[in-house]
Structure 1
Amino acid sequence: MKTHLALLRGINVSGHNMMKMDTLKSALENYGFKNVETYIQSGNVFVDTDETNAASVGFQIKQEIFKVFGYEVPVVVIGMSDLEACFANNAFLKASNVDTKKLYVAFISKELSAGAMNDLKMSQVKPDEAQIDGNKIFIQYAIGAGKTRFDQKYIEKKLNVTATIRNWNTVTKLLEMYKERS
């Protein structure tokens, strides 16, 4: 069995795509996933399965959500190594007096090309900053996530990908949970 972490985008936000995590957990267990565990209402779901392909797991979860809830919900599936890389490769963490409340990670549906940073056109969203690391974008917001143009929709439009963003506290907790499952 392999553990996957599915990050659902756009659920339980401002009254849209509402779903109870207990109902989601039951639906995924009924589908056949094992050891299903959710974390907070924003759509972080651990599943165990014999399927090793992350994209396939994401597709299965997306299909089951549509079947049970009737919502088209984008899903990005990551592994523990993706979360570990957030700590190892995030240059913003190395700055003195870093404010982790302004650090976020955008998890992307595919590996980003070398030219992706140019495609983001960061000059349009200054003073926010970003750094690309494979299928992740490390973000440091100047003011905060609620007052920026550099959000998931901006990233998706500029890079033609599916993206979902998590704050640093959530990334930290998800890695902790992943390690507890190992």
Structure 2
Amino acid sequence: MTTHLALLRGINVSGHNMIKMDALKTTLEAIGFQNVQTYIQSGNVFVDCEEENAAAVGFKIKQEIFKVFGHEVPTVVIGKKDLENCFKNNPFLKEKEADTKKLYVAFLSIPQRSESLNDLKMSQVKPDEASIDENRIYIKYAVGAGKTRFDQKYIEKKLNVIATIRNWNTVTQLLKMYEER
């Protein structure tokens, strides 16, 4: 049995793509996922199953959400090691007096090379900063996530990937939940 964390993009945001977490849990259990556990309303879902391939799990979840709720919801599925690597590899955590309220992680559907940072054209979104590590982009917002052009849509357009962003507090909580499972 493998535990996966599905990060759903764009649900329950500003009244769009509304899905109650209890209904999502019931839906995923009905198609064979076990130990389904959600965290906050923004679409963080742990599932256990025999399938080891994260992309296959994400596709199955995405299909079922569309079938049951009628929403096209991009889904990125990650493992515990992905979250552990966030803590190990986030360069902004190593800064003196790092403000974790300004730190975010964009989880990507496909790994990127470190050179992909050039494709993001960071000069267009300064003073925000970013660093790429495989299928994660570590972000340090200068002012805040609500006041930047460097969002999920920007990342997806520049890199031609699916991206979903979580704040550092959520990343920390999700790792804690993974460890408790």
* Structure 2 residue aligned with 1:75: 75
Inter-partner Cα distance in structure 1 for 2:26 and 2:153: 30
* Structure 2 residue aligned with 1:154: 154
CA RMSD of aligned residues (A): 0.5
1:39: how far off? 0.1
String of CA shifts for 1:18-63, please: whole Å, max 9, x gaps.
0100000000000100000000000000000000000000000000
String of CA shifts for 1:73-101, please: whole Å, max 9, x gaps.
00000000000011000110011111100
Aligned-partner SS, 2:124: helix
1:109: how far off? 0.2
* Structure 1 residue aligned with 2:106: 106
Unaligned runs of 5+ in 1: none
Aligned-partner SS, 1:66: helix
* Structure 2 residue aligned with 1:2: 2
Does the 8 A contact of 2:113 with 2:132 survive in 1? no
* Structure 2 residue aligned with 1:133: 133
Inter-partner Cα distance in structure 2 for 1:32 and 1:70: 20
Select between 107-116 and 162-171 the one with higher mean Cα deviation. Answer: 107-116
Aligned-partner SS, 1:15: coil
4+ runs of 1 displaced by more than 6 Å?
A: none
Inter-partner Cα distance in structure 2 for 1:145 and 1:159: 19
* Structure 1 residue aligned with 2:115: 115
- Matched residue type, 1:23: A
Inter-partner Cα distance in structure 2 for 1:81 and 1:51: 17
* Structure 2 residue aligned with 1:32: 32
Inter-partner Cα distance in structure 2 for 1:91 and 1:172: 16
- Matched residue type, 2:31: Y
Inter-partner Cα distance in structure 2 for 1:130 and 1:89: 12
Unaligned runs of 5+ in 2: none
Inter-partner Cα distance in structure 2 for 1:136 and 1:86: 8
- Matched residue type, 1:48: D
TM-score, normalization by structure 2: 0.99
1:114: how far off? 3.6
Inter-partner Cα distance in structure 2 for 1:116 and 1:55: 22
**Paired-residue identity, %:** 76
Q: Does 1:59 align with 2:59?
A: yes
* Structure 2 residue aligned with 1:165: 165
1:131: how far off? 0.4
1:115: how far off? 2.5
String of CA shifts for 1:93-134, please: whole Å, max 9, x gaps.
011111100000000001102421110000000000000010
- Matched residue type, 1:111: P
**Matched positions, count:** 181
* Structure 1 residue aligned with 2:18: 18
TM-score, normalization by structure 1: 0.99
Inter-partner Cα distance in structure 2 for 1:114 and 1:137: 10
